[in-house]
Each structure stands twice: as structure tokens, then as C-alpha cells.
Homo-oligomer: A and B are copies of this chain.
């Protein structure tokens, strides 16, 4: 992307219907998104000039606003459209889009002020060239020491409160792993730091239910649709670590990375230690949905 004065950037920030200087300040230090994580976000994937599953992402965000008692602002779709158009014009055509909505400016304390105006920010980052090795050979994960709290009021809601996931990923990287899988407080497998988890066991595709505190991932839903279309038996079901270790295949899903084969948990290979046939079939089906989007 080239802006005036010969500056090239790979990202843009869209606020209040216009591009803003990415190096400026955009948010009040009193914004409750900054002070208390009192906000929500969605991360979406842009292919060409199109956002994959935009309506589902906006629907989930609006549900999340209701949970967090934030009045969902009008025109979120227009904000996304405006930002995507600007990104397309700037040549950011394979990108991640983040839509953040916060309660807006607060005062002191936890109680929100009356009549706050939500803050809406869209950021778009060009994606680095795809890491083919991750998709061809799979990635590794450790099991995080931090637990996911399935009895939190914000369970399954994509709030800004990501500290546990940030730490879990950092610890996994320290251990030489690519990602971390979190267990809930009942020792059920839940999700990875920014992805849902799937395993293939006895030919059936399984993913943890929402009762284990997982985010209701848009890609998770799409993968279940893909399985249905391919005639692969698929269901939600509680899983423990041993189920993952003994699985035939496993993979992680999110909107940006799509489907990434998970082939190793710490020292143990999953299945053959290579991406399996079910994972590959789902990756191909997902890719075909992406191709359909572009046409």
C-alpha cells in the first residue's frame, strides 16, 4: 500500500468513516476498551475484495455486545465495507480485518457511565505470504498450564480480555511449540489460543462443545458444514488430553489461518505425525468455498 509522500505500509486503520494515520493516536486513555477490556472484536479474512462470512461475524459481534451491555452501533457493515474498499484500493488483497467495538469513554470504576458512545475501529493488515510448511507438515502444540474458565460470564464471548491467551502462547513458544491447547477447569480440551480444536477419532470428526468454554468459531461452523457436505460424521463432544494423543488426526481452525493440521502435542505425534486424509479433504473443501466467494 502506498500513501502520500512515498510511505508504504501494509496496514490501515479506519475510524469514523475514514482512513486515519496509523502512527497517530486514535483512542482516549479513558476508553473502557483500554482501561477494562470492555469491548469485543471479530477477526475476519479478506480474500480479494471480499470478507469471508461477514454476516456471521457481525451477528456474533452483535450478540457479544448484548452480553457485554454495549449498545451495538449502527453501520458496522458500512464501516467494514468502507475499510475493505480502502484496503482494496491500496492493494491489501489478502488480509486480516479486525473490527473492534468498545463501550466507549468511561470515568473511574467499573460501572459504565450513562449514555456512552461506542468506539468502533477497523484495522486491516496484509497477511504475510502463507507459511506452506505449516499446512503441508502440520504444527505442534503444548497443553497450557492456564485453564479456560467455562463458568465465566464471558465464556464464548470474544471480549478484549486476551491476557491468558497471550501468556499461554508465550509459554508454548518458550517450549518450542507453535501453539497451546487450553483445558477447561474440568480437564476437558477446549481450544487453542486463537483457534478451535478438532480431532478425528474412529473416523468421526469431533470438536469440544460450547459448554467447555470454547468460542463459537465461525470457521468451526464452516468446518462442520464442510464435513456434512463431504459425508464425514461430525459432532461436538467432550474430549480429554488422552483423546487428542490417541486421535487419528487433529487440526486447528480460525478465520485467518483457516484449517491448520495439528500433528504433535509436545513429544507425542498425533496419528501418523502428518496431516491426515480427513484434514486434507476439509482443507480442500474450505478452499473451494473461498474460491466460490471470489466468483
Residues of A within 8 A of B (CB): 11, 13, 15, 22-31, 33-38, 41, 67-69, 96, 98, 100, 102, 107-112, 121, 123, 125, 144-149, 151-154, 157, 159-171, 173, 185, 193-194
Contact = CB atoms under 8 A, between A and B. Distances in A.
Given A69-B167, A151-B185, 5 more contacts: A34-B100, A35-B162, A37-B163, A108-B123, A160-B163
A22 to B, nearest CB: 7
Contacts of A145: 153
Contacts of A68: 163, 166-167
Copies of this chain in the oligomer: 2
A102 B34 CA distance: 9
Given A26-B27, A29-B123, A164-B152, A194 B147 contact: no
A192 to B, nearest CB: 10
Contacts of A30: 13, 22, 123
Contacts of A112: 166, 170
Nearest to A32: B166
Contacts of A169: 110-111
**Most B CB within 10 A of own CB, among A15, A22, A153:** A153
Contact of A170 (B35, B69, B96): B69
A13 B56 CA distance: 39
Contacts of A153: 144-146, 164, 167-168, 171
A38 B166 contact: yes
**Most B CB within 10 A of own CB, among A23, A29, A30, A159:** A29
A15 B34 CA distance: 15
Given A108-B96, A147-B149, A154-B167, A162 B37 contact: yes
A32 to B, nearest CB: 8
29 contacts: A13-B30, A22-B28, A24-B25, A27-B27, A27-B28, A34-B34, A34-B100, A36-B162, A36-B165, A37-B162, A38-B163, A68-B163, A69-B167, A98-B108, A108-B125, A109-B194, A110-B194, A111-B169, A112-B170, A146-B152, A146-B153, A146-B154, A153-B167, A153-B168, A154-B167, A157-B163, A159-B163, A160-B160, A161-B162
